[in-house]
Amino acid sequence: MTVIVSSLVTQRTFRETRDMNSDRSDHWHQLGVSLLSLLGSVAPQLKPESHNVVHDFIQNREYGVALEWLMDAVSAQGIELSASQLIEVDRLVKLMKLNRNR
């Protein structure tokens, strides 16, 4: 009886872990897509070097660093973000649990 219960618990735990990993993978994928979209919307105003650095961070799944570099570049280059871009930045900051007050 103990073996059967243990086996059932193990199977349930495996399924829960698999589902959590799938959710986490989806979350990371969506972050990458959102960051690439934001980068694309700012790209025409952004220096190519800044674009390349941010893009590399996104490709390497360094999403927090990518967003920080993007916002630093936007600020340094005097780029004004649209209302929709600012809403997206705020959404990403909350999703990544970043501190925007630095």
Phi and psi, residue 29, nearest 5°: -60, -45
Looking at the chain, the whole-number percentage of residues with pLDDT higher than 70 is: 75
Start-to-end CA span in the chain (Å): 57
* pLDDT score at 24: 82
Output the six-digit token pair for 28: 């990371």
pLDDT score of 16 more than 80 = no
What's this model's pTM, rounded to 2 decimal places?
0.75
For residue 69, give the amino acid letter: W
How many Cα atoms within 13 Å fall on the side-chain side of residue 22?
Answer: 6
pLDDT in tens, 31-62: 999 999 999 999 999 999 999 999 999 999 99
Instruction: Give me the chain's average pLDDT, please.
Output: 85
Question: 59 burial class (0-12, 13-18, 19+ CB within 10 angstroms)?
Answer: exposed
